Structure 1
């Protein structure tokens, strides 16, 4: 079940939506919960995943947290839901080349 995923904040940029705007809209549509993690039905549909990460807290030691990720199919779904184009030229703009 290994599939390529993209962090949700990067997917927001690919869709030319601000990350905060996208998170807010997905919470309002009940796609994300209050912790910004996708509801199980969207994970089961193959649109979203969650990635566990860890950081070292200075006094409490290692702490785990999860971040939302979007599958390639999920990015297409988001583009349809928000009626926007997927900006594939983002990486080319960073290098200064045009497609």
Structure 2
């Protein structure tokens, strides 16, 4: 299954990562941390990978979620954001 970072998805959708995230927050798809609502993950549109980083002040591992867009999610986003781009070709070459 193909997974795209938010930056890659934004590029394929003809926009920037910040703009894409802002649009998805405005539509209630993402929360304030750019994590998708649970039902979008269940539908297979997004995957959230659990990562950790060492907090510089605390010196301990802190978890965070990294949002990835699936091929299905990329096509869905193109539809709801009304973007007419070459996503179909990208998706067709992937499967």
Give the TM-score of the pair, scaled to structure 1: 0.78
- CA-based RMSD of the aligned residues comes to 1.7
1:59 aligns with 2:62: no
2:41 alignment counterpart: 43
1:73 alignment counterpart: 72
Match 1:33 to one of 15, 27, 31: 31
Residues in 2 aligned to 1:48 and 1:10: alpha-carbon distance in whole angstroms: 13
Q: Which aligned runs of 4 or more in structure 1 are off by greater than 3 angstroms?
A: 86-89
Q: Deviations over 1:8-52 (max 9, x none)?
A: 222001111111111011001010011110001111111011111
Give the TM-score of the pair, scaled to structure 2: 0.81
Residues in 2 aligned to 1:80 and 1:29: alpha-carbon distance in whole angstroms: 13
- SS of 2:15's equivalent in the other structure is coil
1:94 alignment counterpart: none
TM-fit CA distance, 1:72:
0.4
Larger radius of gyration: 1
Unaligned runs of 5+ in 1: 90-99
